[in-house]
Amino acid sequence: MAGEPQADCLFCKIVTGEVPATVVRETDTTVAFRDINPQAPTHVLIIPKVHYPDAASLAEAEPAVAADVLREAARIARDEKITEQGYRVVFNTGSGAGQTVFHTHAHVLGGRGLQWPPG
Ligand code: AMP
Ligand code: ZN
């Protein structure tokens, strides 16, 4: 069924605690944890507890949860004190864009200058 946990999904295992992570915030619908290979002083991933492969499929099936992920991105930025200097919220979508984990996740990046356009 859509949104159900997937046995072979790393981020579903972070939701259940089967795989450890440095969790910074949790809500009824989301978990936020530090990226294991940070690309900036702040690099936090926000995932929905439900499993969808990417942001587009989450937004289509469960728009309220997609909104929760975005709201949490702003909350994390506030907690990390990067709101004023600016930060980036990234959803890599598809392997050609660098997506390696196919469970929706928002990268929140900040704490350094961020170039535009990104690479
Ligand atoms: P993406 O390449 O957009 O799919 O992002 C996946 C991200 O997950 C990468 O930035 C990885 O560094 C990160 N990552 C992979 N495994 C873990 C883990 N066990 N805990 C935290 N972050 C992870
Ligand atoms: Zn998953």
pLDDT > 70 fraction of the chain, expressed in percent and rounded:
100
Place of tokens 């619908």: 29
Query: Please, which residues have CB within 8 angstroms of residue 40's CB and are 6 or more apart in sequence?
Result: 109, 110, 111, 112, 114
Residue to substitute in 100, 105, 107, 108 for testing ligand 1 pocket (most ligand atoms within 8 angstroms of CB): 100
pLDDT digits (tens, 9 = 90+) for 65-100: 999 999 999 999 999 999 999 999 999 999 999 999
Provide the CATH topology of domain 10-110. HIT family, subunit A (3.30.428)
Place of tokens 């535009």: 116
pLDDT digits (tens, 9 = 90+) for 51-61: 999 999 999 99
Specify the pLDDT at position 91.
98
Specify the pLDDT at position 119.
83
DSSP 64-99: HHHHHHHHHHHHHHHHTT-TTT-EEEE---SGGGT-
Spatial distance between the Cα atoms of 18 and 107, rounded to a whole number of angstroms: 21
Mean pLDDT of the chain: 97
pLDDT band at 8 (very low <50, low <70, confident <90, very high): very high
Residue 80 carries which side chain, given as an amino acid letter? E
Q: What residue ranges line ligand 1, CB within 6 angstroms?
A: 10, 19, 21, 33, 35-37, 45, 92, 98-101
pLDDT (mean) for 42-47: 98
73 contacts 46 by C-beta, under 8 angstroms = yes
Specify the pLDDT at position 71.
98
Residue to substitute in 12, 23, 35 for testing ligand 1 pocket (most ligand atoms within 8 angstroms of CB): 35
Q: Which two tokens stand for residue 17?
A: 């605690």
pLDDT (mean) for 16-29: 98
Q: Is 1 a residue whose pLDDT tops 90?
A: no
Please state the domain extents for the chain: 10-110
